[in-house]
Amino acid sequence: MWRLDPGKAQERYDELLTQLPGISEKDDVGSRSFIASENEIRGVGFLDAPRGIVMLMTCGSNQCISPEDATSLAQTVYGRIKALLPVSLGGAK
């Protein structure tokens, strides 16, 4: 997880798009999101632009049987980020 100024967070997200294998942008978590996969590993990355947060999570195919499982896990984490760091309370940098 990275917490950066919004512009830098966008840059970091874009870097991840070029560095990880098997990227497919889904945009179903946060402001933007992707799924990556290689062999038995799935990754989900998302950008929360208002808070300047970039998250990258990985899980093996035993824990995340499908890409939807990985996305569901990321949505849970994103929900907790929003609850812990509301934008209205200074969550945005």
**The residue count for the chain:** 93
* Structural domain includes residue 74: yes
* Structural domain includes residue 24: yes
* Structural domain includes residue 90: no
Provide the phi-psi class of 13: left if phi over 0, else alpha when psi is between -120 and 50, else beta.
alpha
Beta strands 24-25; 2-3: pairing state: unpaired
> pLDDT tens digits, the chain, 93 residues: what are they?
999 999 999 999 999 999 999 999 988 999 999 999 988 899 999 999 999 999 999 999 888 888 889 999 999 999 999 999 988 755 554
DSSP H stretches of helix in the chain:
6-19, 67-84
* Structural domain includes residue 93: no
pLDDT value of position 89: 55
Q: Say what the pTM is.
A: 0.86
Structural domains in the chain (count) = 1
pLDDT value of position 19: 94
Domain that holds residue 71: 2-85
pLDDT value of position 93: 46
